[in-house]
Amino acid sequence: MRPVALILLTILLAGLSLSAGRTWLAPPDLVQALLDPEGAGRMVWNLRLPRLLVGLIAGAGFGLAGLVFQTLLKNPLASPDVIGVTQGAACGAVAALLLGAPAMLGAWGGGLAAVAIVGWLAAHPRRGIEPRAVVLQGLALAIFAGAATEALILRMGDGTAGMAITWLSGTLNGVGWPEVARGAWLLLLMLPLLLAGRALDRLELGEDLARALGVRVALLRAGLGLVAAIVAAGAVALCGPMAFVALVAEPVGRLMSYGRPSPVAAMLAGAAFVTLADTLARAIAPAALLPTGLYTALIGAPVLILAVRRMARG
């Protein structure tokens, strides 16, 4: 029943997100607005609904990427925002904006470059890629990519630099239906990760037993790691880096799926997390519209601590 509860929670938060803002809508008013595109319906259809959909897609992408990296590397810290993938994608997106290129292409290039660099740095001649080395090298790469991003921002004009700084904090302000269309492509890229639940489950048993069950461990790590990096970079391109989403979604999803790695649970946990944070951003200070990433960080840290402690006790 836990996965069903997670689905119901996501639906409830989605309804609350459509209702929240400077003008709160009661449930009957929200239903009327969804049925009638005039008046309050125009606000819901043009502003709140695209914002909700982009947040759901980005949160799902972060959650899936976090699950894949943490499971493949057998390390609860091996999320995209720790091993440098998120920072590399953000650096690539800012570089693309500076050059006048599409931000999503830059984010994909930066994310893939980060994976390639970390894999090369963490590779051992005989033992292959070492998970602990991935985290340590990824932390160094994340710091370097963050410094490079700041250097690129200093070369921008004041207006563009201000927009880039706000975007780097993780925000859904100003998103519309074009971003939803770009997010639809991201949903297609998530399908291989959603179908990889059985392979990830077998990998949890250990590499030797997984090989005995027919899992090609090296190919699995390379393929799923590459797709997860593309998904994480695409989520960054949609709304900027969202702190703690990928890191928290995996342990929360694991708790909701009885201790097993569940792509569906991780996806729902990430989507619900971003939706909750964005709802708080518009409910607490609707005039200020603070970045959603600020609230994911404020919520994510204690949630992660509680989830890890509960898993350790179990």
Q: Quick one: pLDDT at residue 177?
A: 93
Pairing relation of β-strands 128-129 and 123-124?
A: antiparallel
Can you give the pLDDT of all 314 residues of the chain as single tens digits?
Answer: 467 888 899 999 999 999 988 888 898 999 998 888 887 888 999 999 999 999 999 999 999 999 999 988 888 778 898 889 999 999 999 999 888 888 888 999 999 999 889 888 887 766 667 777 888 888 899 999 999 999 999 888 777 788 888 888 899 988 999 999 989 889 999 999 998 888 888 777 777 776 776 777 777 778 888 899 999 999 999 999 998 899 888 888 888 887 788 899 999 999 999 999 999 988 887 777 788 998 998 888 887 777 667 666 75
Element (H, E) at 151: helix 131-154
DSSP 221-254: HHHHHHHHHHHHHHHHHHH---TTHHHHHHHHHH
Alpha-carbon distance 98 to 101, whole Å?
A: 8
Ordered structural domains, the chain, with CATH: 2-313 (1.10.3470.10)
Tokens 């609904």: give the residue.
49
Strand partners, 158: none
Q: What is the pTM of this model?
A: 0.91
Quote the pLDDT of residue 311. 61
- The secondary structure of residue 35, as a DSSP letter, is H
SS3 content of the chain, % helix, strand, coil (to 5): 75, 0, 20
pLDDT at 314: 59
The pLDDT, as a whole number, for residue 131 is 75
pLDDT of residue 50: 95
Spatial distance between the Cα atoms of 137 and 177, rounded to a whole number of angstroms? 38
CA–CA gap between residue 143 and residue 118 (Å, rounded): 13
